[in-house]
Chains A and B, each alone.
Chain A
């Protein structure tokens, strides 16, 4: 199975800050990398697909980059509604696998 490792697991930031979350795959997954946002008690919401494509309706302060095994999610100018948990997922090979999550908290 492809292991997905996110870092950091927790990040504390303030409104207006820029935050970067990293996701590393245990083997090459080309660009089949997806990012989700999950708020407490809610289902996850797809933010970025194919490593760098913004899902319709997602604010442009979210961006993704990377290929191969290393990927990043960047949020510029954090807004109050961005404080949530973020997951990466590889869609290259079954079984699909998720990173362990990164919880973004308000400083």
Chain B
């Protein structure tokens, strides 16, 4: 079965612009989470969506937002881009329901965002 798909794979944006990244989860998965990875801060949790609702949120400013559609596909948006937003943005999907062990997350290949 198809894995987690993130588009685009690479993106270059100018400071002050906004950007939208897309994530298609594994079929049947209802939870989508977003992570930011930078050399300085490592892998950091941004937010999680489950059944079109934000269920958990990390410690990021309001410029970072997301949404989830009825087909579980998710988008994240970053407004007013800053140089420090340059990072690898990763999306992960999981079943998301309280099924106990087995709710491992499957990650996409990520979107490499460069802000110039």
The answer on A and B forming one complex is: no
Query: B residues touching A (Cβ–Cβ < 8 Å)?
Result: none
